[in-house]
Amino acid sequence: MSPTVRAPQSTDSRRHPVDEVLPIPQLFFFGLQHMLIMYAGCVAVPLVLGAVLKLDTHTIALIVNADLLVAGIATIIQSLGLTRFFGIRMPVVAGASFTFLTPMILIGSEYGLPTMYGSMIAAGVFGILIARPFSKVLRFFPTLVTGCVITIIGLSLIKVSADLIIGSDPAAPNYASVRYILLAFAVVVIIVLVNRLFKGFARNVSVLFGLALGAVISWFMGLADFSSVGGAKWFGFSTPLQFGAPEFRIVPIIAMCVAMVVVFSEMTACVLAIGDAVGKKVTDKDMARGLATDGLAALLAGFMNSVPDSTFGQNVGLISLTKVKSRYVITVTGLLLLIMGAIPKLGELVASLPGPVIGGAGLVMFAMTAAVGIQMLQKVNFEGNQNLLIVAVALGVGMLPVAVPTIYQNFHQDAQFILGSAITATVLVALLLNLLFNHLLVREDPPAAEAAPSADAHEIPRTPVVDGTG
């Protein structure tokens, strides 16, 4: 594998490295590298969504292509900016967020795709409207809260991986087939071996290796069907509102807006890490423009049959590794995503991956998300306060519908929908308990409750980095 290329030394001392325009060959190579690293995580969300909702291959391919298209648009806006309201103008790569996956599955299963996309549009408008205020109230979303949420996102999605691997219908003849499980484990082993045997760029695209080699293995096992790829077009875009006019229901909208708030917390941490990596201070106005772009991406996703996008954490690590700080490299990444999104044949190929292959890769990514959340919680101060109780209650309430999906079946349908979402329940409990113990019932000399300090008019408080894939 070709080694990760490092950036050349800048020769223009008058321009910040973020605004440096590299030679075209370097722009292309570094931009391609960013796209390859985020590609597997980006397409995994529509793949899992389509598999769980039992959509046909062509529909999943449509969502995959639309997702790449919207991710490209959001990435270009983040790097170049769009008016004074959108785009943080830093090397920020946008891609599908796992945070939205659970509410999308719940809404799509219960109400259908028109309601799912209507909720997405409403959440996008909500995100645009609260972007500036949110950038000023980050102290209410410390790592104590976001760590709980990131952990529950990973834990709750592991069941989704299991269903993709063994099937969701116990009455099906091939349910829990040994071949399915062995294929999924083969994908996991490939990902682990690539991480162990390689370094740099190859290690960063280990999930992509797992998906590709898993597809080959599944074909030899007779479990893959790529016949639909031949009939797909080489070039084309999906029609907006492909699944009909969006429908707006209050409870699904609330669930999607809660996910948007969680995504805002994740993006804040990622952007602050990027600011540290490139040596540029992030102001509250910068942050507000970046958050508003996440809202705009959700709005576009609702119209373009996509999934919402947010900042990808793994690309933050690549910036630190290569020392390439130019935002124009990320502009090229966005252009490449646009091109990929305009190739239906590619989307059809990705959509044809068997469930065990997707489930095996998802198992690693979802478990890694949970591990990142646990890593974040290690930074929390648990001495002389009730933070451990907050974590315990938030995760316990969040895991209830995962462990026993029917636990709220006697509640009103709207209450079932809110409480039955592990992410929504965890966010509400962690946020309320943090407010209760660390803001309202504060002793005269409280211990550092691990909350981020208040943002002043110029600079955002520093918080740990979070993986944007969710």
The structure tokens listed for 279 are 């040596």
CA-CA distance, 35 to 95, in Å (whole number)? 10
- The answer to whether 343 touches 235, Cβ cutoff 8 Å, is yes
H or E, element range at 94: strand 94-96
Angstrom CA distances, 393 to 264, 312, 434, stand at 23, 29, 11
Rounded to an integer, what distance in angstroms lies between the CA atom of residue 403 and that of residue 317?
Answer: 34
Contact status, residue 188 vs residue 364, Cβ threshold 8 Å: yes
Residue of 294, 362, 258 lying closest to 70 (CA atoms): 294
Q: Are 278 and 90 in contact (CB under 8 A)?
A: yes
CA distance 262 to 369: 14
- What is the C-alpha separation between 157 and 141, in angstroms, rounded? 22
**Residues 370 and 155: beta-carbon distance below 8 Å:** yes
**DSSP-derived 3-state class of residue 433:** helix
Contact residues for 310 (Cβ-Cβ < 8 A; gap 6+):
94, 95, 97, 99, 263, 266, 267, 294, 297, 468, 470
Burial of 444 from C-beta contacts in 10 A (0-12 / 13-18 / 19+): exposed
Distance of CA 304 to the CA centre of its chain: 18
Decide: 270 and 223 in contact? Cβ < 8 Å. no
DSSP-based three-state secondary structure for 356: helix
User: Which one, of 324, 318, 313, 311, lies nearest residue 278 by Cα?
Assistant: 324
The pLDDT value recorded for residue 293 is: 96
The three-state (H, E, C) secondary structure of 28-83, written as one string:
HHHHHHHHHHHHHHHHHHHHHHHHHCCCCHHHHHHHHHHHHHHHHHHHHHHHHCEC
pLDDT at 317: 62
Rounded to 10 degrees, what is the CA torsion of 414, 49, 97, 88?
Answer: -100
Exposed, middle or buried, 378 (CB in 10 Å: 0-12/13-18/19+)? exposed
- Measured CA to CA, the distance from residue 387 to residue 441 in angstroms comes to 13
pLDDT score of 239: 83
Token representation of residue 223:
């479990």
CB 398 within 8 A of CB 425: yes
Q: How far apart are alpha carbons 81 and 98 in whole angstroms? A: 25
User: Which value, to the nearest 10 degrees, does the dihedral of the CA atoms of residues 5, 463, 309, 363 take?
Assistant: 80
Q: Which positions of the chain have pLDDT values less than 70?
A: 1-13, 201, 204, 232, 313-314, 316-318, 320-322, 441-470
**CA angle 83–41–66, rounded 5-degree value:** 55
How far apart CA 342 and CA 270 sit, in angstroms, is 28
The number of angstroms, rounded, from the C-alpha of 34 to the middle of its chain's C-alpha atoms is 15
Which pLDDT value is given to residue 348? Answer: 84
Tell me, what's the pLDDT at 325?
86
pLDDT of residue 444: 52
What is the model's pTM? 0.74
- What integer pLDDT is reported at residue 442 of this predicted model? 63
Tokens representing residue 428 in the block:
């509400």
- pLDDT tens digits, 233-283: 888 777 888 899 999 999 999 999 988 988 888 788 778 778 877 888 888
Tokens of residue 441, six digits: 């019932």
The size of the chain, in residues, is 470
